Amino acid sequence: MNKIPKTLEECYLELDKIKGVEEWLAETEDDAIPIAHHSVGQWIRNEWNLWVGGELKDWFIKNEINHPDDMSGIILRSYYRYKNGLNINLYEQFEKTINFYLTNREKLVRNRKLKLKNLKK
């Protein structure tokens, strides 16, 4: 059984043990993350209990990252940057994810208001 990491740094150590990660790490960052999302990303979400709960999921939730897809995305992007000697910019990743949801939530609310307004006519 694989160890479930509790920190981002522990995630890196566990990902280093997985065969095949070097394939997507050789891509550009913008290509690598979508490539890994349905392979190693899915493995991360399932094997590290991001759907269920645990210390790693709790850490993300404390940082306002609530969906397992976003959690695994941040893990993948951070690992990619770590392995390629780039600045991880974790705060920026959190902000981008949170702002994405705020922006889309605002759009959803606006669209619902428009639909309700049109129904009243």
- The pTM of this model reads 0.83
Q: Which domain holds residue 59?
A: 8-93
Centre a 10 Å sphere on the Cβ of residue 15 and count the other Cβ atoms it contains. Answer: 22
Return all residues near 8 (Cβ < 8 A) that are at least 6 apart: 75, 78, 90
Domain-embedded: residue 71: yes
Domain-embedded: residue 21: yes
Type of residue found at 105 = R
Residue-wise pLDDT tens digits, 55-103 = 999 999 999 899 999 999 999 999 999 999 999 999 999 998 887 777 7
Given a cut of 60, whether residue 106 has pLDDT beyond it is yes
Domain-embedded: residue 37: yes
Domain-embedded: residue 110: no
Domain-embedded: residue 117: no
Calculate Rg over the CA atoms of the chain.
17
Centre a 10 Å sphere on the Cβ of residue 20 and count the other Cβ atoms it contains. Answer: 10
Q: Angle at CA 53, nearest 5°, toward 11 and 100? A: 75
Q: Give the distance, in angstroms, between the CA of residue 103 and the centroid of all CA atoms in the same chain.
A: 17
Overall number of domains in the chain: 1
| CA distance linking residue 102 with residue 108, whole number of Å | 10
Domain-embedded: residue 82: yes
* pLDDT computed for residue 119 by the predictor: 59
* pLDDT computed for residue 20 by the predictor: 84
* pLDDT computed for residue 28 by the predictor: 95
